[in-house]
Amino acid sequence: MSIKRVLVTGGAGFIGSHLVERLLAEGLEVTVLDDFSTGSTKNLASVEGAVGVIRGSILDASAIGEAARGAKCVFHLAAIVSVPRSVQEPLLVDEVNCRGTLMALEASRREGAKFVFSSSAAVYGDSPELPKTEAMAPEPVSPYGAQKLAGEAYVRAYAASFGMEACSLRYFNVYGPRQDPTSPYSGVITKFLRSALAGEDLTIFGDGSQTRDFVYVQDVVEANILAMRARTCGEAFNVGTGASVDIERLAGEIAQEAGQGSIVRHAAPRAGDIEHSRCDPSRAARDLGFRSKVGIEEGIARTLEYFRSG
């Protein structure tokens, strides 16, 4: 299938805006659908005038229909990306994360477009088995994880029922420039960087022994590009590095790198958070050709420079 026009839902967000830039660099015509509840026009400042932007909800049939018209690939990133909020407001978050995914799938099916779904490592839950492989039985422990798993199930079902080319990308802990450090949905690296640069204490929820597989945003973008080019039929793929870092060490290194005298403190664990996470990226390497390229030290240095210069 020759792809000339694509849709990115949530394209004004952290990951979405980086993906939009890359798609334009690939010579594609790009439309963004975003309700700007968490996305920002600032994230699209570098591509202003080069991308079509539709301000609307993923739950609005007319908005998603208009945005998808003529697209041959739909990248579905629009979501409420928050484990804590999914615990606090499960019905509201489910409406966006589950019904919103179904709406995007329907629009994609009508246009005969490929579908690339942004899922999450949250589908694995807190199983002690490491590394996480796609063959493991998902065991989500938060409504957010359950919602992403439901989205994956719909992706598989649409691929099987309608012959759609589709796949799900299970992001591990994504970080990088443009991740809003003031947002309650922001990742831990970005929050630590903001606090450290301001000379504030760094707060760890729990004892700090938790481990995470941190993946830089440009690696996530590359996974999406490769998924667009590959032939897929509903599969799920891990998108991570295959390595993990413990949160206590991470906080200490960021505090030292920022050099503002921040102290690491601890607070009570949050409901729904998992203890350990590390992926096996071999399926994505085999079927998509994906391998992460940005190590944690380089990624933190790039992100730190972004926040220092901004």
Q: Could you report the per-residue pLDDT of 126-141, keeping only the tens digit for each?
A: 888 999 999 999 999 9
The three-state DSSP-derived secondary structure of 97-128 is: HHHHHHHHHHHHHHHCCEEEEEEEHHHHCCCC
> Is the per-residue pLDDT at 39 higher than 90?
yes
Q: Where are the beta strands (DSSP E) in the chain?
A: 5-9, 29-34, 52-55, 73-76, 114-120, 166-171, 173-175, 202-205, 211-212, 214-216, 235-239, 245-246, 264-267
The helix or strand, by DSSP H or E, that contains position 143, with its residue range, turns out to be helix 143-162
Give the model's pLDDT for residue 63.
98
Specify if 309 maps to a domain: no
If we measure between CA atoms, which residue out of 150, 154, 121, 156 comes closest to residue 136? 121
Longest CA–CA span in the chain (Å) reads: 57
* Measured torsion, CA atoms of residues 246, 131, 168, 224, in degrees rounded to the nearest 10: 60
Burial of 184 (0-12, 13-18, 19+ CB in 10 A): exposed
* Mean pLDDT for all residues in the chain: 94
Distance between CA 79 and CA 147 in Å, rounded? 10
Distance between CA 107 and CA 225 in Å, rounded? 20
Tell me if 307 sits within 8 A of 239, measured CB to CB. no
The helix or strand, by DSSP H or E, that contains position 144, with its residue range, turns out to be helix 143-162
Specify if 274 maps to a domain: no
Distance between CA 59 and CA 285 in Å, rounded? 34
Specify if 202 maps to a domain: no
Specify if 86 maps to a domain: yes
154 is catalytic: no
| Lowest-pLDDT choice from 146-160, 197-211, 256-270, 284-298 | 256-270
Give the model's pLDDT for residue 90.
96
Tell me if 10 sits within 8 A of 54, measured CB to CB. no
Highest-confidence range of 125-134, 175-184, 200-209, 287-296, by mean pLDDT?
287-296
Residue range(s) defining the domain that contains residue 122: 5-175+216-242+279-293
Asked if the bond preceding 131 is cis, omega within 30° of 0, the reply is: yes
> 124, 144, 171, 216: which one is catalytic?
144
Task: Read off the CATH number of the domain in which 92 is found.
Answer: 3.40.50.720
| Lowest-pLDDT choice from 21-30, 198-207, 240-249, 268-277 | 268-277
Specify if 61 maps to a domain: yes
Give the model's pLDDT for residue 157.
98
Contacts of 273 (CB under 8 A, 6+ apart): 83, 205, 206, 210
Specify if 139 maps to a domain: yes
Number of domains forming the structure of the chain: 1
Given pLDDT bands bounded at 50, 70 and 90, which one contains residue 259?
confident
Mean pLDDT, range 48-53, rounded to an integer: 97
The helix or strand, by DSSP H or E, that contains position 287, with its residue range, turns out to be helix 282-287
| Lowest-pLDDT choice from 20-24, 271-275, 288-292 | 271-275
Specify if 47 maps to a domain: yes
* Pairing of the two strands 5-9 and 73-76: parallel
Determine the 3-state secondary structure of 161 from DSSP. Answer: helix
Mean pLDDT, range 217-242, rounded to an integer: 98
Specify if 180 maps to a domain: no
CA contacts within 13 A on the Cβ side of 42: 8
Tell me if 86 sits within 8 A of 244, measured CB to CB. no
Given pLDDT bands bounded at 50, 70 and 90, which one contains residue 272?
low
| Helix, strand, coil percentages, rounded to 5, for the chain | 45, 20, 40
